Amino acid sequence: METAAAVARFLASPKLADTTRRSYATDLRHFVTWLEGRPTPIDEVDVRVLTDYVTTLDRSRPRLAPATSARRISTVRSFLRFTFGAARVPDVPLAPRLPHRLPEAPKQEEVEAIVAGFAGSSALALRNRALFELIYSAGLRSAEAVGLDLADVDFEQELVRVRGKGSKERIVPLGERAAVAVARYLRDGRAELARGADDALFLSVRGRRLDTSTLRRLLRHPHRLRHSFATHLVEGGADLRTVQELLGHSSLSTTQIYSHVDAKRLRKVYDFSHPRS
């Protein structure tokens, strides 16, 4: 089997989001270059070959972060599983064990300050305020936010239809403040940006769909608002299964990075309620 053709088929999968596809392409370029240096045909990759690759990653200079090594190994596993089937992928731990720590999440007053920083009555100011109100209100990923169409926001039902990773759809509530900000943008700002029949909810200055690079120029780490969304839900009493559904995580284990927030909340309830606390 030709390695380049196999990689191309994998990257062409419609289940991959654009950002995931770019990340996979970078990781597989590194793996294929290493594989050709041995040289080893792609259909002869087994646990021994993968173990050698892990050793190479461990010895890289400058030293790779554990998360980078784990991501590259995960990418290779996904590629091999897609190409040869799950039975051909060795079910043994190869990646370094990563600490399950909660990413830094702005507190509620910090979120208020971030969103308030996008004040103004211009079309762009109204767009930006609506964009970040919605990201925090619905816990959206950057790609999910810019991927929204006009029809995805249902003001009557107070819902947002979100297309997440792997083209999976989920329905999330539309918060009151986000609804007000989005409605104002649609009423007073979007028409000024529109240049044609683009159905995108959030438009660029050229009238095209806003992209994630522009979003990140507006706010350096927009994903922190998604972490705040989840953290504040758990602090408010939401169970992890509900948070999993709202975030669009395919596995509860991904959501469990927020479990220590839930433990803190339960401790507060216990200390307040139990006579022998």
CATH number at residue 80: 1.10.150
pLDDT beyond 90 at 238: no
Catalytically annotated residue among 72, 127, 129, 249: 249
Residues 147 and 217 in one domain: yes
Catalytically annotated residue among 165, 170, 184, 265: 165
Catalytically annotated residue among 71, 72, 129, 141: 141
Per-residue pLDDT of 188-199, as tens digits, reads 999 999 987 679
Residues 140 and 221 in one domain: yes
Per-residue pLDDT of 7-66, as tens digits, reads 999 999 988 888 889 999 999 999 999 998 988 888 888 888 888 888 888 888 888 887
Residues 139 and 259 in one domain: yes
In a domain, 99, yes or no: no
Nearest-angstrom CA–CA distance, 143 and 89: 30
Section 170-180 average pLDDT? 94
In a domain, 97, yes or no: no
pLDDT beyond 80 at 123: yes
Catalytic annotation present for 209: no
CATH number at residue 117: 1.10.443.10
- Res 277: pLDDT: 45
Catalytic annotation present for 249: yes
Catalytically annotated residue among 72, 226, 227, 232: 226
pLDDT beyond 60 at 99: no
Catalytic annotation present for 226: yes
Residues 79 and 113 in one domain: no
Catalytic annotation present for 107: no
Q: What confidence tier does 93 reach under pLDDT thresholds 50, 70, 90? A: low
In a domain, 95, yes or no: no
Residues 124 and 258 in one domain: yes
Catalytically annotated residue among 81, 184, 223, 265: 223
Catalytically annotated residue among 53, 136, 185, 258: 258
Residues 243 and 120 in one domain: yes
Are 22 and 54 spatial neighbours (Cβ–Cβ below 8 Å)?
no
Section 90-94 average pLDDT? 65
In a domain, 94, yes or no: no
Residues 223 and 141 in one domain: yes
Nearest-angstrom CA–CA distance, 211 and 202: 9
Q: Domain residues for 13?
A: 3-88
Catalytic annotation present for 141: yes
* Number of separate domains in the chain: 2
Please list the alpha-helical segments (H only) found in 139-222.
142-146, 176-188, 190-193, 212-218
Catalytic annotation present for 268: no
Task: Return mean pLDDT, the chain.
Answer: 86
More confident residue, 250 or 7: 7
Section 153-179 average pLDDT? 91
The DSSP code sequence of 213-241 is HHHHHHSS-THHHHHHHHHHHHHTT--HH
In a domain, 232, yes or no: yes
Per-residue pLDDT of 199-211, as tens digits, reads 999 999 999 999 9
